[in-house]
Amino acid sequence: MMRNKVFEVRKAAIGDIPEIHQITKEAFEKYMELAGLKKKVAALEENYGDIKKDIETKEVFIAFLDGIPVGSARIEMFPDQTAYLTRFGVRPDYQNHGIGKALMNAVDVTIKQMGVKKLFLHTASKAAPLVRFYYGRGFYVDSVTKNRGYIRALLCKDYS
C-alpha cells in the first residue's frame, strides 16, 4: 500500500543552515557527476557563513518530505525586475519524487508576488536530466558560456 507523502516547502531560517549545507553538498556532487566535471563547483566550496548571508539577503527555501530536509533553492532579486536562481538542489536519494517541482512552485509564487518579469539560472548543458527538468518548468536557453571550464547554459523563464 502506497501512503501519501507530506511535502513542506518554506522559507529557510538560520537554524536550517546545517541541513541546507548537506543538501547542497549532495546535490552538487551529483551535478558534477551528471556534467562530467572534475573540478569542484563553487557550491561545494561554500560554508555555513555563506549560507547565513544568503538567508539574510536572498529568498531561500527549504523543502521537506515527511519531515526530512531534502531540497533547497535560493533566489537573488534585482531592481530591474529580474531574479537569479542559485543552489537549486534536491538530495539524490529523493530525486524524482516531485520535490523539485514543489520547490519550483514555491519559487514561482514568490517571483510573481515580487513582480519579477524574468528568472535566470545557470546549469551544465551536459546534465540532460536537469535541462529537461527546467524545460518542463517553462525555462529556455538564453545563452551559453564556458567561463567556468565547462559548457553552462543560461536559462530564462518569462513571467510577464
pLDDT at position 3 is: 56
Q: Point out the residues of the chain with pLDDT beneath 50.
A: 1-2
pLDDT value at residue 149: 83
Sheet containing 152-158, strands listed edge to edge, beginning at the edge strand earlier in sequence: 7-11, 59-65, 68-77, 82-90, 118-124, 152-158, 140-145
pLDDT at 2 (0 to 100) = 45
Express each pLDDT in 2-30 by its tens digit. Answer: 456 788 999 999 999 999 999 999 999 99
- Secondary element (H or E) of residue 154: strand 152-158
Closest to 19 in 3D by CA, of 58, 54, 59, 64: 64
Q: Is this model's pTM higher than 0.75 or not?
A: yes
The domain at 7-158 falls in which architecture? 3-Layer(aba) Sandwich (3.40)
Contact call for residues 63 and 96 (beta carbons, < 8 A) = no
